[in-house]
Structure 1
Amino acid sequence: MVILAIETSCDETSIAVLADGKVLSNVISSQIAEHTKFGGVVPELASRLHLKNLSYVLSQALHNAKIAITDINYIAYTATPGLIGALHIGKVAAETLSTYLEIPLLPLNHLSGHIYGAAIDQQFEFPLLALLVSGGHTQLILMTRHLKFEILGSTLDDAVGECYDKVARMLGLSYPGGPVIDQLAQTGNPDRYQLPLPLNDKSYNFSFSGLKSAAANLLTKIRNRGEELAINDFCATFQKVCVDTLMQKLTMAIKEYQPKMVVLAGGVSANQSLRKAFLGLESLGVKAVVPKLEYCTDNGAMIGRLGYQEILNNNNK
């Protein structure tokens, strides 16, 4: 079973080829350099760049996989959520290939794909808790079997990745802000400054808008006092609060639902401090799985792995 998977939900054009769930190729063309000029993703530009790059990415994916396009059995693509124009480019490409090759089409969910990115190199064990962290989403999800997703909690406002980008902009750092803050935080003192733990309650929901406001207020006070900002320490403080918030909610869920496995997913799962804290959850007697870095950000392989699971489930009905 050979699947060609297309991912165009935001600012990466990616196509992967999988055979029986194994990744043969996973080509990603990033648009970050173009969007950095504007301090964030410009939807219209993203759509145009997908249109420009998609044929080259497709050619490279087939070349790397060492197969002909006629060897493909299924076409999978990201149908939702994402930027409408960007999603449309991937949809049209997928439908065209499906019609030309006369093979089935699999429209898939981008967020579910992120979770299944962790299943590329690891067999899922249920019940499973997934912490999905990205620029647009922060969710805590319970899975009792394949493809059954129960959202226990989600962000009430800003996603954690969005908060990172906004705080980075306050600090005058480049876009995307998450990786920059993460790098600076590695050599900073997280106890130098004080920031509150947002939505510190017994729910499984998240809120990061208050943390963003608190960071802005703290920066204003530092500057008004004429103090020099220790930017590495500030980044370390901010990052510690973000990681502690995520781990606090996840730890509560582990104690309540007693999962066999916890999975970290989404673009923010590339964060060094978060990955370290997440792996530390194994002290609670649960298996902790973090995806390879190449499967953290948006990529075709995660969509292909999700598509493979969809096919397996349908065949077993």
Structure 2
Amino acid sequence: MEMLRVAPSYPRLDDLKQRAQASGPVRVGVVYPCETGALAATIAASDLGFIDPVLIGPGALIRRIAAENGLDLGKLMIIEADDPLDAARRGVALAGAGEVGALMKGSLHTDELLGAVVARDSPLRMGRRTSHVFWFDCPAYHKPLMLTDAVVNIAPGLMEKADIVRNAIDLAHRLGNPKPKVAILAAVETVNPALPSTIDAASLCKMADRGQITGAVLDGPLGFDNAVSLTSATTKGIISLVAGEPDILVVPNLDAGNSLYKSLVYLGGAACAGLVLGARVPIILTSRADSVQARVASCALAALAASPRPN
């Protein structure tokens, strides 16, 4: 007998979108939107009031894609760029000049856009490692949950992880959480020299104790089970201010992060949004496999991330 699947509701995602609408649209440079999904999501996010898009790419091609798919560009501005690399450079220049408050990946490759963002002469460099943060509305978890880094940094070292943590904390602050709880994940919850991830986790927590990382409560190493479940932590005798209540999960490497992200979405039924942080403007880095809902949610997240930090 086939089981009836009930689509989950996402009240926290709805709240995120409402807050983004209330904050007003951020002007976004959409870099090389020469694919139907990217263009449709851009128009949908614009219609919802999350973004004020500026399309950067070959105008004739963009208009043809829109016409073939029944997409109304209306009065959207198009800035001509011959190819993906030219579009990425023009987008970075616009952001550096303050003409757009965020960038959004269209149909170019991720490394083409991020390469322009972090180039030696880029006006968007801040002296901090760029990293990606996913924001989730998980039906099985009692509040929004962030995960970092599952996209950009493959095998970060300690100091790179410190920046990854700082970027996620900054986003939590902009979303209105003044003291997020951060779980530094590893395979086990005890420090083991044979597992470098546990050494890094303990070091990050000590950096927080010494004021090198501020604005959050950190704990680690924590296994995923005792990070998200107070019952699991109590069973193992772990006394922690973070266990069962994390706002941010920090993974040891991209393999772990990417697997966890896909598990939450495809098995856990989570809705998500994502941004690249650590540059002077947030970057909406979507995948061709992302749904229009995920792309639009990322635009809402960018609108809040680009807004002035709450007092």
Higher helix content, 1 or 2: 1
